Chains A and B, each alone.
Chain A
Amino acid sequence: MAGFLSRERTVAGPGFNRWLVPPAALAIHLSIGMAYGLSVFWLPLSKAIGITQSAPEDWKVSAVGWTFTIAIFWLGTSAAIFGAWLERAGPRKAGVAAACCWAGGFVLGAIGVKTHQLWLLLVGVGVVGGIGLGLGYISPVSTLIKWFPDRRGLATGLAIMGFGGGAMIGAPLADRLIKHYATPTSVGVWETFLTLGAIYFVAMLAGAFGYRVPPKDWRPAGWTPPAQPQKKMMAQGHVHVDRAWRLPQFWLLWGVLCMNVSAGIGVLGMASPMIQEIFGGKMIGAGGVALADLTTAQKAEVASIAAGFTGLLSLANIIGRLFWASLSDTLGRKRTYMIFFAAGAVLYALVPLAGKLGNPALFVGIFFVILTMYGGGFATIPAYLADIFGTQFVGAIHGRLLTAWSTAGILGPILVNYIREFQISRGVPAASAYNVTMYILAALLVVGFFCNLAMTPVKEEHFMSELDLGTMGATPAK
């Protein structure tokens, strides 16, 4: 079995069609993308004992919500730890390990819910599942980049789009399953965990077994690597992962990802309350009435419209992943991030004006574009890494870079929530409490702009020698 999973056994034979690899990657990313839909479980879990309403022994929403935070932390951590192993072991073994961890995490979580042990839920879905997220997320990156040297952005965009889209499938599916399994003695969560675990296990195994790595020296027919000096930012060699993270280019890209994600993740988390508090009654034709002054029925109507706004942002997120990553193949990675940061900073700074003008359409439009660039930032970074450090260790380097995501996952929401609370405590009206936050998020993007501006190609002295590459059985410098 171990031999069947090895890198050597995954080398594609003659006639293999490279367009089979993106759907395999997508199967894994669509499965692990459910991480963003886990919040669908929090409310039922807060009534696991009381069933119809929370009992004193029931878990608080804030307590079970830690599952997501822990999972995202372990996503970045495991990607950083296991990235180098993945390059040696190959994508299929990593994909199978990811399937075992992600599905196994749901099984442990189900036991935790059934026996009402919160720690088991946190360890199961949070830690074990989080390790599955990290392994699954980086498993196809290196392989896709090697199959698509001519369209790196498109290839990684197709896969990483799945991570943005996973919750779109998983959340409504989980909602239906919870309702299906709910009985007078169960809220239906542990049964849903087991069902989802089984579905994801099968889908991820199918993806892992669909992975193939290209034969040595393979390149698309009719394609030749771009020559210098047209593509100055395209590495002509490969940098070892242990050297890459010691170079300034790595930390500049770390800053690029961290700033882009911090700004976007902060907005995603507060999208629903933000639009409700800024526009209040205007969203239901009761202009001039603040959210706090609406009736309960009106508030429910406003909340329903805000849920539509959140859904639209999710769509923008996945559209951006494919659109911007593909466009970066033409524009170049550095130029694409320049657009993200310059346009993003301007758009964030325009949000308070859109709120002041009382124009919900302008407000929604601004955030739609911002969220496409947030998704685009995730999907374009693997191709950027491959351009700068070469393709040999891009999966492992990408894994280490994802610690920027873990950092942003903490930095973004903290910035947004604490600034908002501070503003309100100073007597600023709720509708205006987001203005300073938006300017600070715009400032983060300016920092990201300068990190990207400072990016330069890696010096040749840092590339691996022909001898090192030969020892690894790798493709020599292009």
Chain B
Amino acid sequence: MTETAGKSAEPRAGGWLLVAGAWIAVGIPLLWGVWMTLKKAAQLFR
């Protein structure tokens, strides 16, 4: 399935690179937050 908009539904050149960049931008802080929480939660299993 094509994931793009418009009648032609042709992906713009570099479109998936932009998608990857956007996900990395939000993913890095989210993963940092998950890591910090996991470190805190690890005390439960000491």
Contacts and interface: CB of A to CB of B under 8 A. Distances in A.
Interface of A: 12-20, 23-24, 26-27, 30, 162, 165, 168-170, 172, 206, 210, 212, 214-215, 218, 220-223, 304-305, 307-309, 311-312, 314-315, 318, 364
Interface of B: 1-12, 15-16, 18-19, 22-23, 25-26, 29-30, 32-34, 36-38, 40-46
A168 B2 contact: no
* Residue among B10, B29, B46 having the largest count of chain A Cβ atoms under 10 Å: B29
A218 B41 CA distance: 44
A15 B10 contact: yes
A409 B13 CA distance: 47
Contacts of A221: 1-2, 4, 9
B43 A15 contact: no
Q: Chain A contact residues: over half helix, strand or loop, or mixed? A: helix
A15 B18 CA distance: 12
A61 B36 CA distance: 25
Nearest to A314: B37
Contacts of B41: 308-309, 311-312, 315
B34 A24 contact: no
Contacts of B36: 168-169, 172
Given A17-B16, A172-B33, A305 B4 contact: no
Contacts of B8: 14-15
Given A168-B37, A307-B43, A364-B44, 20 more contacts: A17-B3, A17-B18, A20-B19, A27-B26, A30-B29, A168-B33, A169-B32, A169-B36, A170-B33, A172-B36, A215-B6, A222-B1, A305-B43, A307-B40, A308-B40, A308-B45, A311-B37, A312-B37, A312-B44, A318-B34
A169 B1 contact: no
B43 A17 contact: no
A425 to B, nearest CB: 31
B5 to A, nearest CB: 4
B33 A169 contact: yes
Contact of A169 (B12, B15, B22, B29): B29
